[in-house]
Structure 1
């Protein structure tokens, strides 16, 4: 690592540790606690928008009093999407910090960036698989947030908050992407143990088990 990189890491590291929920040997990962609101809010917004593609179903749901009239749905979807975008800010920030910690940790362990990238692309080891899964998770989330932001921008220009059919199609596309990204997020915790046994008593237990193993 060059001197410039070392100085940059020394400056960023305290911020990254706070974003990762590390306060000395206390605390716990913050990112999992920040994702629930954006997932819930944006999923509702995308689903309501996608229903525009099935007018017969929408009309039936309205007739059954399960859904409000279209004008109300447009309003709910617009503001739910806006709230989801705002709620995503801390999720993105803490996610970036987790990625930074993982990236720098692997680069330090493997000696250089090239090896880190190569191992992630080719899934050469568990660390490479973990990094590749993280990058895929982050990329999918960026696409989903881009769609949500675009929908908000287009809809705000309409006095009736009507969303064009093209945007409804994008919302329908965003739903499976969002679900798969959430699945990958769960894999990072439950399959790869990201953030697990990193702090407090859990860390001490993990270190003890490593020494015994």
Structure 2
């Protein structure tokens, strides 16, 4: 555990290892994968790509829920985390991506072409663009503000 005068600590940790950065790759891969399979569907009209998309979105949402929970615990657990300038924006963007992907799951659950084109594909692209910004902010929290890094 970090000394109070050290770096901001990750409250949600296991044996001193922060959980949030261990979980975030799963929803990122799911949501980026869904965008890729949406593009494959757009180019082929093969319905299996649409099926892959909804499964990737669903898996991303499940794992994203766990990542969000650990991120909120970290945010609430140490006021120095909240004081880090990118922390609030990082959280708001991630919550926005989660909500967009919930809507996207309902859009992708429709039948046929309209399950993906144009709304599902657009939502997937917006979510991935927001994830890129959020990843930049998350990296800043770790590498610049030293959140969860041992002193």
Normalised by the shorter chain, which TM-score bucket? 0.7 to 0.9
| Equivalent residue, structure 1, for 2:6 | none
Rounded Cα–Cα distance in structure 2 between residues aligned with 1:39 and 1:155: 18
Alignment map for 1:1-213 (pairs within 5 Å): 20-21=12-13, 26-49=15-38, 51=39, 55=42, 58-59=43-44, 70-103=46-79, 128=83, 130=84, 132-156=85-109, 158-160=110-112, 162-197=115-150, 206=151
Segments of 5+ residues of structure 2 without an aligned counterpart are 1-8
Q: State TM-score, norm by structure 2.
A: 0.81
Query: Which secondary structure does the structure 2 equivalent of 1:195 belong to?
Result: coil
The number of aligned residues is: 142
- RMSD of Structure 2 on Structure 1 (CA): 2.6
Larger radius of gyration between Structure 1 and Structure 2:
1
Q: What displacement does 1:151 show?
A: 1.0
Query: Which secondary structure does the structure 2 equivalent of 1:193 belong to?
Result: coil
Higher normalized helix content (fraction of residues): 1
Q: Which has the higher contact order (CA 8 A, sep 6+)?
A: 2
Query: Which secondary structure does the structure 1 equivalent of 2:27 belong to?
Result: helix
Describe the superposition over 1:31-60 as per-residue Cα deviations: whole angstroms up to 9, x where unpaired: 1111111111111113333x27x95xx25x
Q: Give the 3 Å change call, closer, same or farther, for CA 143–47 of structure 1 in structure 2.
A: farther
Rounded Cα–Cα distance in structure 2 between residues aligned with 1:84 and 1:31: 14
Q: What displacement does 1:193 show?
A: 0.4
Q: What displacement does 1:153 show?
A: 1.4
Rounded Cα–Cα distance in structure 1 between residues aligned with 2:78 and 2:86: 12
Segments of 5+ residues of structure 1 without an aligned counterpart are 1-16, 60-68, 107-126, 198-205, 207-213
